[in-house]
Amino acid sequence: MDKKELIEEDLKYIWRPFTQMKSLEEDINKPILIKRGKGIYLEDADGKKYIDAVSSWWVNTLGHSNKRINKAIAKQTKQIEHVIFAGFTHKPVIEFSKKLVKLMNNKLTKVFFSDNGSTAVEVALKMAYQYQVLKGKPEKRKFIALKNSYHGDTLGAVSVGGIDMYHKLYKPLLFEIRQAESPYCYRCPMGCTKENCDCECLQSVENILKEEAQNTAGIIIEPLVQAAGGMIMYPPKYITKLRSLCDKYNILLIDDEVAMGFYRTGKLFAYEHANIVPDIVCAAKGITAGYMPLSVTVTSEEIFNAFYDDDKDGYKTFYHGHSYTAYPLALSVALENLKILEEMDIEKYLQPKIKKFEQELQIFKNHKNVGDIRQTGMICAIELVKDKNTKEPFSYEEGIGKKIYLEGLKLGAILRPMWNCIYFITPYIIKEKEIEKLVKIAYTALNKVLPNEE
């Protein structure tokens, strides 16, 4: 089959994620057939190359088709691809878990494996609630979550989500939560500015806690960046103060590092910037360098010990598992990934790239539709507005993001704006020259759609 036929077959049989399928009737919206990936580039069936500026849904870290990872996979398949993880174990999972806990300075020590970001969050929610039950507090069954948050698409994760377009419709299938303000600094709900902010928005969390801490199991956050909500960024001190609130009111802090973890913010986990330790950490995406689904929910001895018992009737066990829990193939990749990152001295390695992005982003400063330029480590975002003074946003119907995406493709980059935000989440191995090139493409695409001189 040639390219055209393949695309036709694709449209005939496949229902795509997050996609209004009717939009694919238009030629420009048809899926692009990718043939190959190498480093930061994806190559389509016509040989055209694109910078993968979204790391293929924020997962890729070491570039596509990484030779060392490929070798680790080939080696592992010859030994054992998968073995049931109840009653049995294997070397890659032990070495990985040990390394991970060590990198977390032994502050959280118990690693529970599942398959993706959503399941890591489901594990965290179930674990947090069951912990409260086992501590004799079954009434502590509510969760607090933030506006604009995204924690995954399974119904437990949707319950703590805060983006209407993704989550609202499913309300009859969700459990009840309390929603606190989003720490959306550019549009501060308290009317503060970055200069005078003292995390006043946390007051909305404390107001809820004053009312019903006694019924609350925990609060879940995306640390430093509410990514799917529109790359909303907020300072580490928010997390530091939130930790104190959790301690004061005796609820658990669940830290969803699915997107931020594995050095996306410059450190292994974003919570490190806040000098605190959460009670439960969820991580996925970059854990396998972008190769295959795997996730962890890491927690404390305190929580683990609440489940540790003779348990004659079986009700103290954490009943959660997936067929491929901790499958050796993914663990061999996750382990090799950690080894590579260690050899790279990844925190230091990323510094010049983070600085380079910061410098290059200045080009957007004087564009009339750029409301905010923000950066957290290797995540950069440019929020577009209709009017800089009023901060009036573009409406969904205007489809500004989509137009910029299409211009980006023509120019050789996958930009895929999130709502009205152009963003960069690239593989870590991007070179400084490539950062220049990518930012220029984005700036050109922006000016095609929203010319500055108008």
In the window 305-324, what residues touch a copy of itself (CB under 8 A)? 307-324
Helix pair 346-361, 328-344: axis angle to 10 deg: 70
H/E run at residue 441: helix 432-449
Site string for a copy of itself, 230-269 (x = CB under 8 A): ----------------------------------------
- Near a copy of itself in 121-140, by CB under 8 A: 122, 125-126, 129-130, 133
Q: Which of 302, 305, 286 is nearest to 294 (CA)?
A: 286
Q: Which of 90, 241, 273, 353 binds a copy of itself (CB under 8 A)?
A: 90
Nearer of residues 308 and 410 to a copy of itself, judged by Cβ: 308
Shortest Å, Cβ 12 to a copy of itself: 7
HSE at residue 39, side-chain half, CA atoms within 13 A, is 8
Among 21, 211, 355, 410, binds a copy of itself (CB under 8 A): 21
The three-class DSSP label of residue 235 is coil
Choose one: 1-9, 198-206, 339-347, 358-366; the region binding a copy of itself (CB under 8 A): 1-9
Report the residue number, 168 or 194, with the smaller CB distance to a copy of itself.
168
SS3 297: strand
* Tokens (6 digits) for 312: 């004659």
Region binding a copy of itself by CB under 8 A among candidate stretches 96-104, 201-209, 230-238, 373-381: 96-104
The interface with a copy of itself within residues 331-370 (CB under 8 A) comprises none
Query: Does 394 engage in binding with a copy of itself (CB under 8 A)?
Result: no
Query: Are 383 and 376 within 8 A, CB to CB?
Result: no
Tell which positions 193-232 bind a copy of itself, by CB under 8 A: none
Q: According to the binding rule CB under 8 A, does residue 113 interact with a copy of itself?
A: yes
Nearer to a copy of itself, 40 or 373 (CB): 40
The CA distances from residue 70 to 20, 319, 324, 438, in Å, are 35, 34, 20, 27
* Residue 213 Cβ vs a copy of itself, minimum distance, rounded to whole Å: 17
Q: What is the DSSP string of 151-216?
A: --SSHHHHHT---HHHHGGGGGGS--EEEE----GGG-TT---TTT-S-TTHHHHHHHHHHHGGGE
The correct pick among 49, 68, 81, 347 for binding a copy of itself (CB under 8 A) is: 81
Minimum distance between the CB of residue 11 and a copy of itself, rounded to whole angstroms? Answer: 9
Residues of span 273-292 touching a copy of itself by CB under 8 A: 284-285, 290-292
Supply 8's token pair.
Answer: 């036709």
Minimum Å gap between C-beta 360 and a copy of itself is 23
* Residue 164 CB, nearest approach to a copy of itself (Å): 9
Beta pairing class for 370-376 and 142-146: unpaired
Other CB atoms closer than 10 Å to residue 84's CB: what's the count? 12
**Token output for 78:** 């010859």
The length of the chain in residues reads 454
**41-80 footprint of a copy of itself as x/- string (CB under 8 A):** -x---------x-x-xxxxx---xx---xx--xx--xxxx
